Amino acid sequence: MKKTKVLLIGAGGQLGSELTQGLWKIYGQENVVASDIKDAQGILKEGPYEKFDVMQRDRLFELIRKYEITQIYHLAALLSATGEKDPRWAWKLNMESLLFVLEAAHELKLHKVYWPSSIAAFGPTTPKQNTPQDTIMDPTTVYGITKLAGERWCEYYFRRYGVDVRSLRYPGLIGYKTPPGGGTTDYAVDIYFKAI
Ligand SMILES: NC(=O)c1ccc[n+]([C@@H]2O[C@H](COP(=O)([O-])OP(=O)(O)OC[C@H]3O[C@@H](n4cnc5c(N)ncnc54)[C@H](O)[C@@H]3O)[C@@H](O)[C@H]2O)c1
């Protein structure tokens, strides 16, 4: 079994900046390659870092080979509020980047992929009490539509090719280390930055 080497895509965001440090503790700083379309900021400058646009499929494959990556955490996405400003781009970025990662996982035989879904995959007619895992899913935002479609793509790659891909439907998650990225819960972060 190859040594675990992680590539984190979208590491400069709310989740990524925290997750990178969590993964450093588990796998060792040298075994976690953080990446984002932005330059490395704050604590991310201390570990391996690649400035990288996930829409560059060839570069993704190149990085996986270069660092002998075995696991990918794919966090880069256009979030709910920002997605409504440019729905076409939200669809393209969120879907194509996920497909690139799933294709890479299949073709380069990665051990594991993690890709977060969201409660945005639910809609107004989803039961609100004890919401079941399998239930009415009628998302009303382009972001929610990409999360629901993404869940199906992950399931497809697992069933068809045996790719070990895992996901959780997160509620609103916030952090204080990075500015808000355009999600519906980001006001809770934004008010503190604005107050300061
Ligand atoms: N924060 C939440 O409340 C929440 C809830 C449910 C699901 N999620 C999911 O978790 C993931 C991370 O969310 P977040 O809150 O950290 O978002 P965020 O906007 O703070 O971070 C996303 C990061 O992706 C980067 N990125 C954007 N386009 C890129 C590209 N083309 N190539 C490389 N990097 C790119 C951005 O620069 C940013 O640093 C997303 O998939 C999101 O849908 C978040």
Q: pLDDT tens string for the chain (196 positions)?
A: 779 999 999 999 989 999 999 999 999 999 999 999 999 999 999 999 999 999 999 999 999 999 999 999 999 999 988 999 999 999 999 999 999 999 999 999 999 999 999 999 999 999 999 999 999 999 999 999 999 999 999 999 999 999 999 999 999 887 777 777 777 777 888 888 888 8
Q: Provide the 3-class DSSP secondary structure of residue 152.
A: helix
**How far lies 9's CA from each of 77, 84, 86, 133, 179, in Å?**
10, 22, 21, 27, 17
**Residue 85, in any domain of the structure:** yes
**For position 104, what pLDDT does the model report?**
98
- Residue 94 domain flag: yes
Q: Other CB atoms closer than 10 Å to residue 170's CB: what's the count?
A: 15
Best of 37, 79, 113 to mutate for ligand 1, by most ligand atoms within 8 A of CB? 79
Q: Which residue type occupies 55?
A: M
CATH code, domain with 32? 3.40.50.720
Answer yes or no: is 54 within a domain.
yes
Q: Is there a domain that residue 1 lies in?
A: no
- Rounded distance, CA 9 to CA 51, Å? 10
Q: How far is the CA of 10 from the centre of ligand 1 (A)?
A: 6
Name the one residue in this structure whose structure tokens are 């079941």: 132
pLDDT value of position 174: 79
Point out the catalytic residue in the list 143, 157, 161, 176. Answer: 143
Range of the domain at 34: 6-195
How many domains, the chain?
1
- Looking at the domain assignment, is residue 75 inside a domain? yes
Active-site residue 143, yes or no? yes
43 found inside a domain: yes
CA of residue 190 to ligand 1 center, whole Å:
16
Binding pocket residue ranges, ligand 1, CB within 6 Å? 9-10, 12-16, 36-38, 53-55, 75-77, 79, 93, 116, 118, 170, 172-173, 181-183, 185
Question: Which ligand 1 atom minimizes the distance to the CA of 12?
Answer: 39
In a domain, 135, yes or no: yes
How many angstroms does the Cα of residue 22 sit away from the middle of ligand 1? 17
Separation between Cα atoms, residue 118 and residue 109, nearest integer Å = 26
| Alpha helices (H) along the chain | 14-27, 57-67, 80-85, 87-107, 142-161, 187-195
SS3 state of residue 89: helix
- For residue 77, the CA-to-ligand 1 centroid distance in Å is 5
Name the burial class of residue 30, with classes exposed (0-12), middle (13-18) and buried (19+) by CB atoms within 10 angstroms of its CB.
exposed
- In which element (H, E) is residue 72 found? strand 71-74
Residue 47 lies in a domain: yes
